[in-house]
Chains A and B, each alone.
Chain A
Amino acid sequence: MSAPSTDTSGLDLAVIIPELAKYGGAERLLIECVARWQHRHRITIYSSKTNRQLLSEHGVGREVEVKTLSPYYEGQHSILLNAVLLPKIWEREVGTHDVYHTHLWPTHLIDRHPMVWYPHEPLRILHDLRYEQALDDVADQFQRNLHIYPKYNYDRVSDMTYEAYLASIDMFDKLGAPDRIVANSKYTAGYLERVYGVGVTDVVYPGVNDQDFIYQPPDENIFLTVGQLWPHKRMKLIIEAIRHVEGAQLYIVGNGPEKQRLQRMTQGLGLSDRVFFLHGLTNLEVQILFSRALAVVFTPMKEPFGIVALEAMAAGKPLIAVEEGGFTEAVDESCAMLVPAEPERIADAMRQLRDDKERARRMGLSGRQRVKQFTWDRAAEELGTIIEDTHEQWTEQHRRAEPSGASDRPLVGVHYYCWFGSGIGSRHWNDTAQSGAVTDMPTLGFYPSSSGTTIEAHLRSLEEAGVDFAMLNLHVDARGADAYEVASIENVFSIARQIDSPIRFAIHLCPYDCKAKDLQTTIEMIYRMFTPRSSYLRLDGDPVLFVFWTGVYDGDRRWLNQLDEWTAGFVRIACSLRMYSAQDEQRKTLGVFDGWSLYSPLELSAPARWEELWQQAYTDSTAGARGLRIATVSPGYDDSHLKDPNRENNPYRTVCREKGATYQRMIDFTLSLAQQPNLVLVTSYNEYHENTHIEPSKTHGTRYMDMTRELTSKVATQWN
């Protein structure tokens, strides 16, 4: 198997952010960067809520794919579920990419690598905002408000469980292991180092488009502040300050849960004719407000960065701000008045500018000049370089860790069935005469496929036989995907991870008279649930999907086009019941498949013609887009005990195993191939209805597993 791409000039980049619905600071940075990266990398944005119009307004094209993650939980325990469970759900919903660039908390808990995390800020309710949540309206109910950005409302937690919630979240928070953390300021870098105990040396400041702003010299006594209305934004300070600045007005642009409280406070102070709350403005309206302002006031508590400061500078307006937070690294005294977080000190600064507009003008122009070094071009370039470097370093390490030559020899895989229930009479153990009858019994007994014990025994058995991968059969019929098989397949992946099995897995999709919608849903589920696993089989970096091909859909253009669209991210290999048709295969399957294999090579003809047909099939197997060479072996075939009218016309229902001679004939043929195969498939490990199983059983003992071990050994020796 090949290693992931090391070509950093065109990465398959996943950008993950909890929500991308409004144009806040974090979202702005992501959008501005993606707009600049989109022509260089293939980008997929993952978000639980995405405003596509917002993307297009800022130049992000349709070629940037957008995928939706599960939404935030609401209601009881939602804060814990969103902090702990949700990122692990997202982990399973994110596809496989070269590199993962995550924004905000808690996307660092998505276990994907290489990952560059731009947190913007740690979860501040665990640290500096722990005791800054508004209690006024809830304390008498023995409750507390908690808030995690970007949610727009409070989560209510009882006093009894408040500390337990925070302790649990804190514990999980430390489990994230991004490969690189990038801070939006030196202040935030130090903060992150203290929280996570790792060095954070990468700082990329946000930027601003200064050409978007309207510059007008100050001639009105209007002070402007922009920000969401949460307690730690401390709008309260500015309102208390403006009371002492006669003849001045304050425009507050932003919304949030504190709005009503702030409005009551404004009314109580008699400032209703001087303090105004605005939200839902267009970009142009915000720019006009900036242009009208005498100064911009910004007083949040330890703001990690604070793009508002850059916007004030871009608009040519002096900044009156508290002397704390990341933005203080971007301003100096020529354009900003940094003061303690006290209303009177803020008011004093406001009065100075009210009474000296020439000074305000000079400061504004100085800021407008200084802000030119904080561009989105620079931010995107610096962050893009970090992402590319991270990918390159990770790939280099990954390449060194992989055994040399491991990707060169043929891989041997087995068809594996997860459909068995527990005990005789249960699903697929003689449950129906038509399709469930069996004539042999596994050595493990009539096992349930979902059982961890069964799966571990099978994996050990496959490892001992030297098998590289298993094709996990998943059936889709009129009722949709087989839920039992899905659950069992999930267990297979989990057990394999637990026991650190080297076996890899790919889904063998078996559609039977299913609805298009169900097939699409199933393929999306495979992509989201299974392909991100490290044990999923990949060829040239792409996940492999085997498709059982009976020929029923031959020539069905609509069906084939849909299949082509839905499986576009996979290496698609047909496991066919019929031979490849050199004359009109294009008409039959439209070139959908990247590789071609036989599922049941013993059902094609009488024994006399076997080698001839196998050779033809092997030659034809390269006809797919990827030029893969695939051989299939099988120990025998016998479905004569199934009471199925559809099978009655098959002249080759019983192909005797001949005590291993049939299997050996196929193995010999395979080993005699002049050109090395890429894949050797075994039909099957445990298909008992058709008696193609090689699993140790009452009838055959370990004969066929022993022969398979010889096959894998010789394959490895012959073609290593």
Chain B
Amino acid sequence: MELSKVAPTSLPYVTLDRDWLDFSTDDTGELALGFSRGVWQSELSLVVDIYSAKNPVHPAGHVGWWSWSLWDKSDLVTTIKRNAGGFEAEIDGLEPTNQWQNPDFTGIDEDALAVRVVLRDVTTEAIVFEDALLLHNRADSLEAAGASRQLIHQPDTPITSAAWYGWPGDTAIHVVAANIFSRDAVGNFAIDLHRLFRANGIESQLYAAHFDPAVRGAIRHVSSLPETVRDHDLVVLNFSIYDPYVEMISQLRCRKILYFHNVTPPRFFQIYDAELAEFCSRAFVQLATLPPFDGYLANSLHSMRLLAQCLNSPSSVGAAIAEANADGEVDGGSDESPVRDVVVCPPLVSSDRWAGIDAAPIKLPKQTNRLLYVGRIAPHKRVEDLMALFSQYARWDNNSALIIVGGCGLHGYANYLEYLLKNTYADVADRIHMLDHISDGQLKTVYESSSAFVTMTEHEGFCVPLIEAMHFGLPIFAYAEDGVSQTLGRSGRQYFTKDFESMAADMNRVLSTAWMRESLVTRQRARLARWRRESDGTVLWSAIERVIANGVGGR
């Protein structure tokens, strides 16, 4: 296989020669490290960092770190050894320049540890590259990781077949996202695309800068993309946040499609994760300054307008849009005159992912009127507003509970919600149930046993859980945010202001009046049928077809 002659990336990187380290039978593992051109001329240091896989935080879950200067070196092999006192690392027999081992760390026998390989700027100590793999201490951990990798490639649910099948035999598709994690909308969609392509006989590979090291191999570090992509291949880039590798991807000579998932306004994150907020801000600027892709897709009309606005005024619009978006006001295009070159393609490619999933038991609240929220626990989802709404609703309905299903990646936000539960909403806290790490089968049980779906989100690109709620016949009560409104259409019960007292009264009236509830669900069913028709893959395949037909550098 001849590799593409791509423009060299300016980002330094390290390649690892394996996807995991097996310590289940041995106390020593070797990892060959390859370095990108330029690393030797820059003032970088190499750091090998080991954390607990299940609690990768400093200092509680930090095993230790070892660092080496990279001046005047070539490709190296790092050796990691386990001994009675913990771990040690060396490179080709060289002692590390600096090292630190956590004397208080007690988890060296945990099922798996995470080994991070990091490049840092010597002067500023800023991280310029990082990749990770798992060090498995037990065979069953290794086996479980293998099963997870297999699931990435081949789900146990049906896949939509391609209506178009004249695929060029040696053309592979490379599906890229900044982060690929399950239970995340962007990650799920990237994985769904990958499965779709493979199910239709197309060679496909996933890439990300950040992903669960347990599935390393099924997903590759994005820095390896230039070395594997060929001129006649296709790259599908999922864009939802600033990604330093996007510039490199945009310079690849192969054909490229950008799928826009929208970008969360930074104001939602700034007090909980200011770095993430900064990445959101920079995403708009990055979009506006990228070289053209061969095709653009967006997950909703709302996202399409925003993307088109960025693309059509690349010199100056980025920052302005970031501001406008932060205020929830996006002005660009209209229903009557959609902007050229961006195609709306809902992020739905599985025909019915629930059909192949069996409901699994899970402990449910004793209250039988259950309001359900499913989605990320993130500031823009306004989970605190859900609590405020439920505290009002609970006054109407003694037999009610609120179930919140989702993971929270923002520690500060999780703490704030916990504070609210313990203080502001202490009187209803025992009726608010927060569930994380539940299986798809358990989630199916929760959907099937709930009375209504509620969301107070203030920013959505598409909002897949609304489709799932429609599927399970749950009446939907939602704040009328743009993305939500476009997904719901004229279905669901949408509120334009957050007057929780009157919203709660209205919800109670609808849920306790059979014909109102049934009418709501009926409209939702009609809306779902329309989404199903639009999600048969036609839009996606036709967009790919157009790009493929246009050949290399089609625009």
Where the two chains meet, the residues of A that have a C-beta atom closer than 8 Å to any C-beta of B are 214, 216, 219-222, 247, 249, 251, 268-273, 276, 278, 281, 285, 288-289, 291-292
Contacts and interface: CB of A to CB of B under 8 A. Distances in A.
Contact of B271 (A268, A272, A278): A278
B412 A288 contact: yes
B123 A288 contact: no
A270 B271 contact: no
Contacts of B123: 270
A23 B140 CA distance: 59
12 contacts: A214-B419, A216-B419, A220-B412, A247-B59, A251-B274, A270-B124, A270-B125, A272-B126, A278-B271, A281-B271, A285-B271, A292-B272
B274 A278 contact: yes
Nearest to B126: A270
Interface string B263-304: 000000011101101100000000000000000000000000
B121 interface: yes
Nearest to A252: B274
B271 A273 contact: no
B121 A216 contact: no
A292 B126 contact: no
A238 to B, nearest CB: 15
A216 B275 contact: no
Contact of A291 (B126, B274, B416): B416
A221 B277 CA distance: 18
A293 to B, nearest CB: 10
Contacts of A221: 58
Given A216-B419, A285-B271, 14 more contacts: A219-B411, A221-B58, A247-B59, A251-B271, A270-B124, A271-B126, A272-B278, A273-B126, A276-B270, A285-B270, A288-B271, A288-B416, A291-B419, A292-B271
Given A214-B419, A278-B270, A273 B58 contact: no
A138 B379 CA distance: 42
B435 interface: no
Residue of B125, B272, B277 with most partner-chain A CB within 10 A: B125
A317 B340 CA distance: 54
A246 to B, nearest CB: 8
Nearest to A270: B124
B334 interface: no
B281 to A, nearest CB: 11
Query: Interface SS of chain B: helix, strand, loop or mixed?
Result: mixed
A214 B413 CA distance: 13
A220 B415 CA distance: 10
Given A269-B124, A270-B125, A273-B126, A289 B415 contact: no
Contact of A273 (B270, B272, B275, B412): B275
Interface in B231-284: 270-272, 274-275, 277-278
A679 to B, nearest CB: 59
Nearest to B412: A292
Interface string B57-75: 0110000000000000000
Interface residues of B, number: 20
A673 B514 CA distance: 89
A243 to B, nearest CB: 8
Nearest to A273: B275
A435 B419 CA distance: 80
Interface in B327-377: none
Contacts of A222: 412
Contacts of A289: 271
A221 B59 CA distance: 10
9 closest cross-chain pairs (CB), A and B: A270-B124, A276-B274, A270-B126, A292-B412, A247-B58, A285-B271, A289-B271, A278-B270, A273-B275
B324 interface: no
Contacts of B412: 220, 222, 288, 292
A273 B242 CA distance: 14
Contacts of B426: none
A586 to B, nearest CB: 47
Contacts of A220: 411-412
Contacts of A219: 411, 415
Nearest to A266: B124
Given A278-B271, A278-B274, A285-B271, A273 B127 contact: yes
A284 to B, nearest CB: 9
Contacts of A285: 270-271
B177 to A, nearest CB: 21
A270 B419 CA distance: 34
A251 B121 CA distance: 22
Nearest to A289: B271
A598 to B, nearest CB: 62
A291 B277 CA distance: 19
Contacts of A270: 121, 123-126
A458 B416 CA distance: 75
Contact of B278 (A214, A269, A276, A292): A276
B415 A292 contact: yes
Nearest to B413: A288
Interface string B102-140: 000000000000000000010111110000000000000
A285 B124 CA distance: 30
A350 to B, nearest CB: 15
A120 B123 CA distance: 42
A214 B424 CA distance: 10
Contacts of A272: 126, 278
A222 to B, nearest CB: 8
B38 to A, nearest CB: 18
Contacts of A288: 271-272, 412, 416
Contacts of A247: 58-59
B231 to A, nearest CB: 35
Nearest to B127: A273
A272 B58 CA distance: 19
Interface centre among B59, B277, B411, B415 (most CB of A within 10 A): B415
A316 to B, nearest CB: 12
A216 B415 contact: yes
A216 B278 CA distance: 25
A194 B319 CA distance: 49
B153 to A, nearest CB: 34
A96 B316 CA distance: 53
Contacts of B274: 249, 251, 276, 278
Nearest to B100: A246
Contact of A271 (B124, B271, B415, B416): B124
Nearest to A267: B124
Nearest to A269: B124
Nearest to B122: A270
A212 B125 CA distance: 39
A276 B275 contact: yes
Nearest to A253: B271
Nearest to B422: A216
Interface string B391-422: 00000000000000000000110011001000
Nearest to A215: B419
Contacts of B278: 272, 276
Interface in B46-97: 58-59
Contacts of B121: 270
A285 B413 CA distance: 11
B125, B127, B274, B412 interface centre (most CB from chain A within 10 Å): B274
B100 to A, nearest CB: 9
A292 B416 CA distance: 9
Interface string B468-500: 000000000000000000000000000000000
A278 B278 CA distance: 10
Contacts of B416: 214, 216, 288, 291-292
Nearest to B58: A247
A534 B183 CA distance: 76
